[in-house]
Amino acid sequence: MPIYALYALFFDESGLSDAQISVLLAIWSATAVVFEVPSGAIADRFSRRNSLVAAGVLQALGHAAWVVFPSFWGFAAGFVLWGLGGTLTSGSFEALLYDGLAANGDEEQYGRLNARIDTIELISQVPVAVLATALFSLGGYEWVGWVSVAMCLASSVVALRFPEPPRESEDHESYFATLRAGLKESVPIKRAVIAVALVYAIDAFEEYFPLLVQDWHVPTVWVPLATIGVPLLGAAGASLGGRLPFRGWVLFASGVLLIVAAALAVPVAIVLLGLFYGLYRFVLVHVETELQHRIESDARATVTSVAAIGSEFVAFAIYGLWVLGSAVAVGVLILVVALVIWRR
């Protein structure tokens, strides 16, 4: 969505402080904490495809709230709606993809296909960044916001066409039985769940990329274009993650690169920021794939949501570290997470 490249700057130029922006992001995460697992069970019990359709509509309403009410409370309402949409997507998409492959006996292809999807998603940020720059130049944040609303609604239309294989449990299990099954399944594979929670939480730092680059003396109008290389390197890392075996030191190296980039604090440091993101995405593909392979029940979306809710708690630490110590402190946290993952 075009608004992704500019919304942190939108908040900043609407008069919000760094602390208020972090509070907004915390509201976003808090929404996920409350609704993540229940929405995963909804997808498992009823329809993962319909969950994706509803998610696009809710996210569209959230972005519309930002445009119509550009204030702290308007942004907060938008984040709640976006957060609700995000919980309906989280777990549902992975489960729909994995079970679709499993229905044809191709579940071993999940890692490579998941990496390919991540790669396409990241590469698509390049034309979207160009679009965001053009829209901002022509009509400011308002144009960027309304086009983002339209794109969210279009994603719901696309989701309507996704095939959804039948599941044994969907006809005779109650919602609460599905919820209990997902929670129970998470216990024996808790290491894989924790690994996804810790690594996926790091992606919360992506929300600060525009502010970080702006602090490195890049004019606002050029921020989307200046950061084009970051998702491209992230795409390269994700693509390699689907082809190369896991290496424990990769995440540690990414944290080191982030710390060096933050210490330099100049436009050229964007290259190091991109390398950090590429290495991070390499690791993320591996831990997500490992979790999906270990889930054995039909409550796949619920188990994935358990990992996602864990990531939201870690994301709170990232929001706080941004306020207290900026990117260097976040880099140190990544080093700690890397050591935990490496050791396990």
DSSP 254-289: HHHHHHHHHHH-SGGGHHHHHHHHHHHHHHHHHHHH
Quickly tell me which residue has 């980039």 as its tokens: 261
Number of domains within the chain: 1
- pLDDT for res 63: 95
Helical spans, DSSP H, in the chain: 7-13, 18-45, 48-68, 72-89, 92-102, 110-123, 125-159, 175-186, 190-201, 209-215, 223-226, 229-241, 249-264, 270-294, 300-343
Low-confidence residues of the chain: pLDDT under 50: none
For residue 206, what is the domain's CATH number?
1.20.1250.20
- What does the alpha-carbon distance between residue 176 and residue 38 come to, in Å, rounded to a whole number? 9
- The answer to whether 82 touches 59, Cβ cutoff 8 Å, is yes
The closest alpha carbon to 170, from 268, 299, 280, 267, belongs to 299
What is the per-residue pLDDT for 66?
94
Residue 306 is predicted with a pLDDT of: 86
Given this model, what pLDDT does residue 170 score?
55
Q: What type of residue sits at position 287?
A: V
Here the tokens at position 34 are 């409350």
Q: Which domain holds residue 229?
A: 2-343
Structure confidence at residue 124 (pLDDT):
86
pLDDT at residue 171, rounded to an integer: 55
Please report the pLDDT score of residue 220 as a whole number.
Answer: 78
